Amino acid sequence: MGAFSRLGNDLYSGRRSIDFVGRRWVWYAVSALIMALASFGLLRDGLNMGIEFTGGAEYRVTVPAEKATQETADELRSAVASTGIDSASDSQVTTSGDEAILVQTQPVNDDESAELVSTILEVTGATEADISQTEIGPSWGKEVAERSLLGLAVFLVLVTLFIWAYFREWKMSVAALVALAHDVLITIGIYALSGFEVSPATVTGVLTILGFSLYDTVVVFDKVRENTHQLKKSRLSYAEAANLAVNQTLVRSINTSIVALIPVAAILYVGVVQLGSGSLKDLALALFVGMAVGAYSSIFIATPLLVQLKSGEKDLDHDERRAAARRREAGADLYSSVRGADSSATPPPDPRQVRADGTVATKPKTAPPRQAEAVNKGRVVPKPHGPVKPSPSAGRVQPTRQPRSKRGKK
């Protein structure tokens, strides 16, 4: 931790620096590759929408702990699919903790529901008192989806207005929204690849990670504004000051992300391994992926994109040229001092002055001749510019000044 703290101090003071802004095309390429993989998974597999959005029936059967296993769930899935009911041909059967199994199907009628209940009881050996049925209509699921999209749209609008009002810079809003879209696309794509079911908890997780990503981005942008406030008085260009801001907040972003990801990872492990199903794992997966991607986008995407959007401004172009000129002047002064030190160094001795024993014959140093001094004055007499000539005014009567009381009297 001591080395990590020293690294943070060096990054904050500028003694060490990572070129995030200058290598932005590398980060863009990495993000493009990740988004391409996420989009491929999203287009190939699609989202596994839960019955809360599509409507359907859910059967929860309580079984002993030795039967609440994945083997029983797989056997029950095969038995439900073999009933010949179209709505149950692609059912979702998962364990729920150590004492229950969930069976989710598309909407079924009463006869089909009775047949499914009979099959579930036959496979699991449970009684009718151990099974509960929940039906969700498609209209309610559609309403949940519409409200989720409305909440996302309101969130994005409020984010845009907040960033514009706080920073008074619309380009910062654009960069932050691009980073948010980057986080959402990657999170949804990885969610599709995992095959997890999309539930209302998933929507809650996505909205939460948008807030986390925005928080980290605003912190970095605030440091960018602080570093570029007095840009004309510094030797840095806008890109250099922004890159310094990312380096100064890098350790903080890493620490914040690690502290947030550790408990979320624990929740994800419990939801997947221990419980096996439920909204807990859906929420944890969205939070874990979103927080990790949000920390990445605030460092590698948002600030480099902001610098690229502002690169065409005339004032910043002038500041860039001025900073480059100052760096050239500083380099010229450095080299001139080096040359001055070299020129003042002792020159090598003349070979003609080297004696046979290897010593150098030098002339004895004598003091320069002293100039004549003025008597009783302590000063050096200046050299005369020429012979002293008599003044033309010599012999003239010089006027005298008399007091006013004697003027005009003889």
pLDDT in tens, 269-306: 877 766 655 567 778 888 888 888 988 898 899 989 98
The domain tally of the chain equals 2
Residue 376: inside a domain: no
Q: Give the per-residue pLDDT at 69.
A: 76
Which amino acid makes up residue 288?
F
Range with lowest mean pLDDT among 61-65, 139-143, 244-248, 344-348: 344-348
83 CA to centre of own chain: 54
201, 259: one domain: yes
Residue 122: inside a domain: yes
Kindly indicate the confidence band of residue 88, based on its pLDDT and cuts at 50, 70 and 90. Answer: confident
405 CA to centre of own chain: 95
Looking at mean pLDDT, say which of 69-78, 150-159, 298-307 comes out highest: 298-307
Mean pLDDT for the stretch of residues 88-105: 76
Kindly indicate the confidence band of residue 334, based on its pLDDT and cuts at 50, 70 and 90. Answer: very low
163, 132: one domain: no
152, 198: one domain: yes
Domain termination residue (choose one: 322, 353, 375): 322
Q: Give the per-residue pLDDT at 344.
A: 47
Q: Give the per-residue pLDDT at 333.
A: 45
Q: Give the per-residue pLDDT at 66.
A: 76
Range(s) of the domain holding residue 71: 56-136
CATH classification of the domain holding 66: 3.30.70.3400
Higher pLDDT, 130 or 7: 130
**CB-based contacts of 113: which residues, under 8 Å, 6+ apart?**
57, 133
Kindly indicate the confidence band of residue 227, based on its pLDDT and cuts at 50, 70 and 90. Answer: confident
Higher pLDDT, 154 or 33: 33
Residue 389 confidence (pLDDT) above 60: yes
Mean pLDDT for the stretch of residues 18-22: 86
Residue 176: inside a domain: yes
Higher pLDDT, 118 or 401: 118
CA 242, CA 309: separation in Å to the nearest integer? 13
Give the SS3 label for residue 131. Answer: strand
Q: Give the per-residue pLDDT at 30.
A: 92
**Helices (H), ranges, 270-313:** 279-297, 303-310
pLDDT tens column, 161-220: 887 787 777 888 888 888 888 988 898 888 888 877 777 778 778 878 877 888 888 888
pLDDT tens column, 118-133: 888 888 877 778 888 7
Mean pLDDT for the stretch of residues 40-50: 79
101, 241: one domain: no
Which amino acid makes up residue 327?
R
Q: Give the per-residue pLDDT at 141.
A: 63
102, 229: one domain: no
Q: Give the per-residue pLDDT at 29.
A: 93
Residue 237 confidence (pLDDT) above 70: yes
Tokens of 229: 């406030």
89, 238: one domain: no
Residue 396 confidence (pLDDT) above 80: no
Mean pLDDT for the stretch of residues 258-268: 86
176, 260: one domain: yes
| Chain mean pLDDT for the chain | 76
Higher pLDDT, 248 or 274: 248
262, 152: one domain: yes
Residue 361: inside a domain: no
Residue 74 confidence (pLDDT) above 60: yes
Query: Is residue 240 within 8 Å of residue 323, measured between CB atoms?
Result: yes
What's the burial of 60, exposed, middle or buried (CB within 10 Å: 0-12/13-18/19+)?
Answer: middle
112, 218: one domain: no
- Per the listing, tokens 């140093």 go with 365
Residue 405: inside a domain: no
21, 166: one domain: yes
124, 11: one domain: no
Residue 365: inside a domain: no
CA 189, CA 285: separation in Å to the nearest integer? 12
149, 29: one domain: yes
Residue 359 confidence (pLDDT) above 90: no
| pLDDT above 90 as % of the chain | 3
Residue 363: inside a domain: no
Query: Is residue 134 within 8 Å of residue 273, measured between CB atoms?
Result: no
Domain termination residue (choose one: 86, 118, 136): 136
Kindly indicate the confidence band of residue 157, based on its pLDDT and cuts at 50, 70 and 90. Answer: confident
Domain termination residue (choose one: 136, 152, 168): 136
Residue 14 confidence (pLDDT) above 90: no
Residue 173: inside a domain: yes
CA distances from 334 to 14, 144, 234, 320, 337 (A): 20, 67, 18, 21, 5
Q: Give the per-residue pLDDT at 232.
A: 67
CA distances from 302 to 193, 278, 313 (A): 26, 34, 18
Mean pLDDT for the stretch of residues 85-102: 75
CA 256, CA 215: separation in Å to the nearest integer? 11
CA 221, CA 182: separation in Å to the nearest integer? 17
Kindly indicate the confidence band of residue 347, based on its pLDDT and cuts at 50, 70 and 90. Answer: low
CATH classification of the domain holding 212: 1.20.1640.10
